[in-house]
């Protein structure tokens, strides 16, 4: 892509607050964006070949949405965690194995999409995020869900298509969790905490494609309580 094309994108971004440059084979985060650190509200650089997010990302203090789906990121810089206004972070289809230690400082974050990466566990940093609504960790390499998950504030947690064989009973204590997706994992029925059914806020539990038949789930103690929540929620949205 020529300089004139980039210049045109920058001029548009200066007016709109949105910089979008997708599917252009970029291998680097455009340094030229530095000029717009106070203008930009949205950056979308999806479907490129970016391997590294530079520390300067931390300077975009008004950024609300950062979209970097389908790049080649293997790590995120700590500086990303300075974005106190960031509400939406989409990082699908990269090669991330972990999140920065200070990730819990992204205090405005509402939507986090990390589908199709190489995470091996549910990052504990997520538990510090008080406004988190939706967390998508599907298509990773997560094998168990640790005790720390009980402090997660999310409303929806998507763990489909991982390798999960163990889930901490603490997941029933998530104060706002309504939707839990666990499809296509390695769960035996005995490893699914019954308190998810009998004693949680969860009103949609998706567990198809595990190591048990769905009709067996219906025989568990607490299933009727779960169905009450499920039906009440359905009526509310009908």
Residue 106 has pLDDT above 80, yes or no: yes
| Total residues found in the chain within this entry | 238
In sequence order, the β-bridge partners of residue 204 are: 179
From 51, 48, 135, 58, select the one nearest 89 (Cα to Cα): 135
For residue 78, is pLDDT > 70? Answer: yes
1-30 pLDDT tens trace: 567 778 888 999 999 999 999 999 999 999
Closest CA relative to residue 187, chosen from 218, 152, 157, 159: 159
pTM, rounded to two decimals: 0.95
Nearest CA-CA partner of 68 in 6, 103, 125, 113: 113
**Per-residue pLDDT tens digits for 30-73:** 999 999 999 999 999 999 999 999 999 999 999 999 999 999 99
Exposed (0-12), middle (13-18) or buried (19+): which is 108, by Cβ within 10 Å?
middle
Whole-number percent of the chain with pLDDT over 70 = 99
Mean predicted confidence (pLDDT) in 107-124: 97
Distance set, CA 93 to CA 118, 146, 165, 169 (Å): 9, 24, 23, 30
Over range 211-223, report the average pLDDT.
Answer: 96
The neighbour count for residue 161, using CB atoms within 10 Å, is: 19
Q: Where are the alpha helices (DSSP H) in the chain?
A: 3-16, 195-198, 214-217, 223-237
């Amino acid at each position: 892509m020529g300089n004139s094309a980039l210049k045109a994108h920058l001029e548009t971004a200066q007016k709109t607050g949105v910089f979008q440059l997708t599917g252009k084979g970029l291998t680097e985060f455009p340094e030229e964006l530095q000029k717009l650190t106070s203008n930009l509200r949205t950056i979308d650089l999806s479907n490129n070949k970016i391997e590294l997010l530079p520390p300067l990302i931390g300077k975009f203090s008004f950024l609300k949405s950062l979209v970097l789906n389908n790049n080649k990121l293997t790590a995120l810089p700590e500086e990303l965690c300075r974005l106190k206004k960031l509400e939406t972070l989409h990082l699908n289809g990269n090669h991330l194995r972990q999140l920065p230690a200070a990730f819990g400082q992204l205090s405005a974050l509402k939507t986090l999409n990390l589908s199709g990466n190489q995470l091996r566990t549910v990052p504990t940093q997520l538990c510090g995020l008080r406004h988190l609504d939706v967390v998508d960790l599907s298509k990773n390499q997560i094998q168990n869900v640790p005790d720390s998950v009980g402090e997660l504030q999310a409303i929806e947690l998507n763990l489909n298509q991982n390798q999960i064989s163990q889930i901490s009973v603490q997941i029933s204590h998530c104060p706002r969790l309504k939707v839990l997706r666990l499809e296509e994992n390695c769960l035996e029925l005995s490893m699914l905490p019954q308190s998810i059914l009998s004693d949680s806020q969860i009103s949609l539990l998706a567990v198809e494609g595990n190591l048990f038949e769905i009709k067996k789930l219906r025989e568990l103690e607490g299933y009727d309580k779960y169905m009450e929540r499920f039906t009440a929620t359905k009526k509310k949205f009908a």
